[in-house]
């Protein structure tokens, strides 16, 4: 007799539905699973066999063959256990075959028949619902995570016996209530906490208004890290689609735990400078997402930027341009979203005090070597570079608040986001920073004075084609902040000041 059940295979943050087929026939008793399997999937035959036995279900010893198709897809993970068990129970006649046609089964089985949580549930449920099917049976611990998918009907279970009773009862149990995503912007930190540094705050507001990549250069203790930590607090709330995408990344990485079942606010990732290129890009066993993907739609902060290894820093070049990263390894190929805002910080020299010659003892050659660790192609991809001076004493003791508070900066950034959303309504991109080279002349329109100034800056600053386009995009964002339809000379002046690396 033949039994069927459905589950999914994960590829990056995407999923593909797969069919689990089980056949029980006369012959020498055995239990084999086929279908291009990883180690964890091959081991599932022992978990499934013991889970069925210890759930009080008796199956007459026979030849049991399970196939997970299509066979050209690599199957990794433990979430296939429940689907394999359901298919075997159908083949044994314990469950009627016509009851599980439009249901996906997800979950790892313990030897006692207990259902245990797995990672990657969110992408699997999203893919299942895209096909017009809705019902999903999964471990109770994963129910909240899956409930954020609209239209999904989630049936949580704790044991294999609960799943069998649910199937036999024609799923009369009320589905788990779908959760409603929140749009959280509370981060508990305010730019008003930073004394002085008005030019830095202005540069951050410009960069945040279109998710421009930025670099801060200044002495130790000037407030670079404090400022970077507060950037997510002034970014607009993520859309539902962005929340779903980011939560899918964290689900695949196994980071939705400890009560966190959905990522509803922008992330701030700050890896140490000893991080490896593989940890930054992603990979390893199971091709897990790296820091560039975990920071998607949020901030990737790299302190002591030039102390990261050259290979690690150069990993950023592709995702900074495309918003995705392709990981190609011997055991597979996956693509992850990596649409992050890079915020980097570094000291101006090894001692940290250049150009203050009263405190800095570095030679010009040492300063050049310190900066020389960063390649020109990488610096060319950074839109906003700002000098962060030492905080003055009068700023430290000033009790009042300046203009640049979270409330003011967030309202400005949200207004500019809305302008860009309206402008690019018919495009595949939605931010000035993402305008492709072919569209720069259409959206970055300069008045006559600005054109003349841009002409002189292009030659005097020896800009590359990429640098020219980056400058225009930043100028477009500054013009949006000022509410100007055209880019004017003052916008070009400010944008060019941010490219003096």
In terms of phi and psi (left: phi > 0; alpha: psi -120 to 50; beta: otherwise), the region of 12 is left
In this structure, are residues 214 and 205 in contact, taking their beta carbons and an 8 Å threshold? no
In this structure, are residues 348 and 217 in contact, taking their beta carbons and an 8 Å threshold? yes
Nearest C-alpha neighbor of 295 from the set 315, 309, 280? 280
Place of tokens 């302190």: 303
Q: What's the pLDDT score for residue 501?
A: 63
Cα separation of 204 and 224, whole Å? Answer: 11
What is the full DSSP assignment across 228-249?
A: HHTGGGGSPPPPHHHHHHHHHH
Q: Which residues lie below 8 Å from residue 48, measured CB to CB, with a gap of 6+?
A: 31, 81, 84, 85, 88, 109
CA 152 distance to own-chain centroid: 23
In this structure, are residues 219 and 348 in contact, taking their beta carbons and an 8 Å threshold? yes
pLDDT in tens, the chain (501 residues): 789 999 999 988 899 999 999 999 988 889 999 999 999 999 999 999 999 999 999 988 899 999 999 988 889 999 999 999 999 999 998 988 777 888 999 999 999 999 999 999 999 999 999 988 889 999 999 999 999 998 899 999 999 999 998 888 765 555 677 776 666 656 678 888 888 888 999 999 999 999 999 999 999 988 899 999 999 999 999 999 999 999 999 999 989 877 778 898 999 999 999 999 999 999 887 789 999 999 999 999 999 999 999 999 999 999 999 999 999 887 778 999 999 999 999 998 888 888 888 888 888 898 888 888 888 889 889 999 999 988 887 777 776 667 888 899 999 999 999 999 999 999 999 999 999 999 999 999 999 999 999 999 988 888 889 999 999 999 999 999 999 999 999 999 999 999 876
Instruction: Supply φ then ψ for residue 328, to 5 degrees.
Output: -120, 110
Instruction: Supply φ then ψ for residue 135, to 5 degrees.
Output: -80, 130
Cα separation of 474 and 204, whole Å? Answer: 12
Q: What is the set of domains in the chain, with CATH numbers?
A: 2-168 (3.30.230.10), 191-426 (3.40.50.300), 435-501 (1.10.8.60)
- What's the count of helices (H) and strands (E) in the chain, helices before strands? 21, 18
In this structure, are residues 113 and 230 in contact, taking their beta carbons and an 8 Å threshold? no
Cα separation of 70 and 253, whole Å? Answer: 24
Q: Residue 478 is encoded by which pair of tokens?
A: 């500054």
Q: What's the pLDDT score for residue 396?
A: 75
CA 67 distance to own-chain centroid: 33
Q: What's the pLDDT score for residue 125?
A: 95
3-state per-residue secondary structure call for 384-434: EEEECCCCCHHHHCCCCCCCCCHHHHHHHHHHHHHHHHHHCCCCCCCCHHH
3-state per-residue secondary structure call for 94-145: CCCHHHCCCEEECCEECCCCEEECCCCHHHHHHHHHHCCCCEEEEEHHHHHH
Q: What's the pLDDT score for residue 185?
A: 58
Nearest C-alpha neighbor of 178 from the set 162, 199, 202, 154? 154
Q: What's the pLDDT score for residue 184?
A: 61
CA-to-CA separations, 470 to 3, 305, 338, 477, in angstroms, rounded = 58, 20, 19, 11
């Amino acid at each position: 007799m033949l039994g069927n059940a459905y589950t999914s295979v994960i590829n990056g943050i995407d999923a593909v539905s797969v069919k689990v087929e089980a056949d029980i026939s006369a012959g020498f008793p055995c239990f084999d699973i086929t279908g291009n399997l990883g180690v964890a999937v091959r081991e599932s035959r022992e978990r499934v066999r013991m889970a069925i036995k210890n759930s009080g279900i008796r199956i007459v010893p026979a030849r049991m063959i399970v196939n997970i198709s299509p066979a050209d897809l690599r199957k990794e993970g433990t979430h296939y256990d429940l689907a394999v068990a359901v298919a075997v129970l159908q083949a044994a006649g314990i469950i009627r075959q016509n009851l599980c046609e439009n249901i996906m089964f997800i979950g790892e089985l313990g030897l006692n028949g207990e259902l245990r949580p797995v990672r990657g549930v969110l992408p699997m449920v999203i893919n299942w619902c895209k096909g017009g099917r809705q019902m999903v049976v999964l471990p109770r611990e994963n129910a909240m995570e899956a409930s954020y998918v609209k239209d999904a009907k989630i049936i949580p279970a704790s044991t294999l016996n609960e799943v069998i009773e649910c199937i036999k009862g024609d799923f009369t149990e009320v589905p788990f209530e779908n959760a409603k995503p929140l749009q959280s912007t509370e981060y508990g930190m305010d730019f008003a906490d930073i004394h002085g540094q008005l030019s830095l705050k202005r540069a951050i507001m410009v960069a945040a208004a279109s998710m421009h990549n930025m670099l801060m250069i200044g002495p130790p203790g000037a407030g670079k890290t404090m400022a970077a930590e507060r950037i997510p607090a002034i970014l607009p709330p993520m859309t539902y689609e962005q929340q779903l995408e980011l939560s899918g990344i964290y689900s695949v990485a196994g980071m939705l735990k400890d009560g966190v079942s959905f990522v509803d606010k922008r992330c701030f990732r700050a890896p140490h400078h000893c991080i490896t290129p593989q940890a930054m890009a992603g990979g390893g066993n199971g091709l897990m997402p790296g820091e560039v993907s975990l920071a998607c739609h949020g901030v990737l902060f790299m302190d002591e930027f030039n102390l990261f290894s050259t290979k690690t820093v150069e990993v950023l070049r592709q995702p900074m341009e495309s918003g995705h990263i392709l990981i190609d390894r011997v055991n597979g190929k996956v693509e992850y979203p990596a649409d992050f805002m890079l915020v980097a910080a570094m000291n101006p020299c090894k001692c940290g005090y250049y150009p203050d010659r009263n405190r800095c003892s570095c030679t010009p050659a040492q300063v050049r070597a310190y900066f020389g660790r960063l390649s020109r192609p990488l610096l060319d991809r950074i839109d906003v570079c700002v000098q962060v001076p030492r905080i003055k004493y009068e700023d430290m003791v000033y009790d009042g608040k300046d203009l640049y508070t979270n409330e003011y900066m967030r309202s400005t950034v949200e207004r500019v986001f809305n302008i860009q959303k309206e402008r690019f309504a018919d495009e595949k991109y939605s931010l000035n920073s993402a305008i492709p080279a072919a569209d720069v002349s259409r959206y970055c329109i300069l008045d006559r004075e600005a054109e003349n100034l841009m002409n002189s800056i292009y030659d005097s600053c020896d800009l590359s084609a990429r640098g020219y386009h980056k400058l225009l995009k930043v100028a477009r964002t500054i013009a949006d902040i000022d509410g100007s339809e055209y880019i004017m000379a003052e916008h070009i002046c400010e944008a060019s000041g941010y490219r003096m690396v």
